[in-house]
Structure 1
Amino acid sequence: MSLMAALCVNVVTVNMLLSVFFLSDVSVDCGDIPGLSITAPKEMEALSGSCLLIPCNFTAKEGTHFNSSRDIYGVWIKSDSRFLNNKDNVIFNSSGSVNSYKMKMIGNLTEQNCTTLFSDLDKNKSNKYFFRIETEHFRATACDDPLQITVRDSPWSPTINISGEVKEKKSVTISCSAFTPCPHSPPQLTWNLPQNSHSQIEENTDGTFTSKIQQSITLSHSHDGFNISCSATYPVDEGKPGKTKETQQTLSVPYAPKETSASISPSGLVSAGSWVNLTCSSRANPPVSNFSWFLKTEHGSMKVAKGHFYQFSVTRGGVYYSEVTNILGNNRSNEILLTVEGEEEEIHYGDIKFSDGRPAPSSVGEQDSGQQQETVYARIKASKSESSSEQTAEGLQDIYAKVNKK
């Protein structure tokens, strides 16, 4: 035989051996007729020191002669290999003959319910398990439906969920839920929301369970940024301090700008030609998209700048304020009085009514004839000197005389 031929034979041999090896890993030798199938999760997790409820239903396959009226027992088999008939791998038999693992048949086997409570778990019990039914003259194993159980030391983090429109003045329902591998020993849920509702246990579609606590609240802008904290404490080892895991979630509540304020630096009297800084701040979600500054004048408010910060050189005093906007609305700040040192006069505008001393008209007709009162808009200079009262009185008398001449 040539060297090349020998190599080919060796390669074929190796391939055959590999095929046998991998096939043996997926093919289970039941040692009996695989006439059983179960409906149960393919994989389940449990907490060390706690228990696990295994939801399970079984069905005899077509052609399998199974009589449910006879005494029937459920058997659980631990398997690290492809052989299930090793007696050392049988860990539980509901007949009471074997109970090396602390298990209890909860389901009614005559109704094809094989639900089982698995207690006193530890990490050494992480394994693959098979279910079998036995009667006096019948035995069938669910060879194609193994259950992988993984035991962990740390608990599961709870889940916070918010249902409803998260918006100011809207009502939402906030819930905190935690995986519950064993409803006989559920986790205790606590959070920083009002504790006026009790935890409840809900069954999932796959037969597993979830513990939940929930609360309905009406949102306001004060809830924006509120940090919801929820903890799940799992009891372990029949009374020992439980294992706890916490989850946090921050609320984000959209609202129009609020608490808008304006400030000035330096404050107090300032000199003409000096620089002042105006700053505007506001609370809003989403954040403020537009800041505008206004100066109040005799003709109304005049827009003088944009941006949350406004710096300028002082030429005269005045009253300033800011307005802010986001996509949900707007808000106006307080007013700031800018006072310039050395300005001795203040200008006031007002309505002054004068009468010619004649009796008031008695009818609308007399008013229409031109004998009504007249309104005069006057510009009065009010001085801060000692004779300010006298000057003001003299000014009023001059205006009064001019009106009477008309």
Structure 2
Amino acid sequence: MGRALPPQQDPEEWELPPQGPPWILGGPATLRVLILALLWRGSLSQLPGFTLMVPRSVSVQDGLCILVPCTFTYPASYDTDNSWARLYRYWYKDQANVGQNLPMASTDPSRGVSQETQGRFQLVENPANGDCSLQISDARRTDAGRYFLRVEKGSLRYNYLSNSYGTDAKLAISVPGLTEEPEIQISPARGLPGTLLAGEPVTVTCTAPGRCSGPPPRVTWTGPFSDTARDVSAQLANGTWAHSSALSFTPGPGDHGKELVCTVTYRPPQGPSTSRTVRLHVGYPPRTPNITGTLTRNGHPVLEVSGAEDDVMSLETWEGDSLSLGCEAGNRPEAALSWVKGNESLSPSQGWAGHLELMNLSRGDAGEYRCWAKNPFGLASRTLRVHVQSKALGGAVPHRGP
């Protein structure tokens, strides 16, 4: 016959010395499976063969979810003596009377669970490997406290309350306020966050923190283009959900500096909420540069150079003239400006920051001068064709350059 054990009594609690930070849920992205083995307690209970491995403490933010890993063992004789019986596992809140109070989580279909945690606290389905892991969805402030594991199988009735040294073997759960922000992704990505190309269709997706299987949060947008919002939530391979909302629009230059705000609310409308703001940086390729300048002859300006319409400008000069040119291009972000003659880049002493100085022109200075404007979104150019005429006996002879 099997050995019937009375429930283990809760001994006097001991204050545990600090042993590192508690397990904390935070950061984007996937369901946290807490696997920091150094924080686990191997609690060898007062009776041989009973062990429990569970974190000392975990933290989950209000509204989010967490999976608390847990494993347990009990003497093999209980499997032999109770081969006909099914193993049930329960999580109770500290100070609960197992004969009178409902568990917070249970695998026993004949025993109900507390309304406080119904549908939110769940034990894994298969206990074959001694798994007592606890999954918590839609965490609430009232969930904070300490919990203990109980197992039952036929004549086996056992509470895992303390280890052989008398120290506490319970799981402590803390539920701080929601501070984790949603994750925002922009496609296609253009360098810095929030950088968009004017005229190019874009999708901005906001994903709620946590990958949970509980009730979906409400994801809303404020700001321009919020009327394009659509639900793009997706179920992940492990059965949890990534709750997301997406905006699709084509930004223009006038949208630069506008803000999009994504707000995620759990248990709407009064539950905890969190938000993230993205400021739009709308850029565009440089426009065709505008070339201006002054032609000087014998120390006196004789012609103002200006051209913003034709791609190629033409200018007639004489040997000995001087030419001062400037180049500018409207763009965002600001373009880098440079001058080239033919296929040769001009040295900094001749061209810098869009300026070009050609002193005492000679026939060798004739040719095509091109100003280039370049930024991350593209480039544009404009050409000035300079003709240099030489004074020869019998009249002026123009030189058109190579």
TM-score, normalised by the number of residues in structure 2: 0.48
Richer in helix (by share): 1
TM-score, normalised by the number of residues in structure 1: 0.48
Q: Which has the larger radius of gyration?
A: 1
Larger RCO: 1 or 2 (CA < 8 Å, sep 6+): 2
